[in-house]
Amino acid sequence: MCLGIPGEVVELLTDQPDLAQVEVSGVRRAINIALLEEEGVAPGDWILIHVGFALSKIDEAEARAAMEFLEQMGAAYDDEIDALKESGDG
């Protein structure tokens, strides 16, 4: 929960400006990007996601390292990543 899950922004949703389609661990889902309003988010950007919200932009190398770190954490983070994948679009 305190560790962000990395994802790649695939598409901005023009009808819902707070949301973007983000690919996380091979699955696409909508993530709230309103907290990155000041930085701006574009397709191809990598973000760190905490409980459904993007809190920071990162680069691809960091994203891959962060994902591997989470995968190593085992069951607890498998559960969190599964929960994220199943979680709706808000």
Partner 1 sequence: MRYVDEYRDAGKARALAARIAELCDPGRTYTFMEVCGGHTYTIYKHGIEDHLPDNVRLVHGPGCPVCVIPMGRVDDALHIAGQPDVIMTSFGDMMRVPGGSASFLDAKAAGADIRMVYSPLDALKIARRNPGRRVVFMAIGFETTTPSTAMTVLRAADEGLDNFSVFCNHVTIIPAIKAILDSPDLRLDGFIGPGHVSTVIGCRPYEFIAAEYGRPLVVAGFEPLDILQSIHLLLTQLAEDRVAVENQYGRVVPWDGNGKALHVLSQVMEVRPHFEWRGLGFISHSALRLREAYAAYDAERIFDLPGVRVADPKSCQCGEVLKGVLKPWQCKVFGTACTPETPIGTCMVSSEGACAAYYNFGRFDRAGVREAIRS
Least distance in Å: CB of 9 to partner 1?
A: 16
Among 26, 40, 44, 74, binds partner 1 (CB under 8 A): 74
Least distance in angstroms from the C-beta of 21 to partner 1 = 15
Which residues have a Cβ under 8 Å from the Cβ of 50 and sit 6 or more positions away? 1, 2, 4, 5
Minimum CB separation from partner 1 for residue 81, in Å? 9
| 21: Cα separation from own chain's centroid | 9
Handedness of CA 62, 50, 55, 43 (dihedral sign): positive
Residue 48 near partner 1 by CB under 8 A? yes
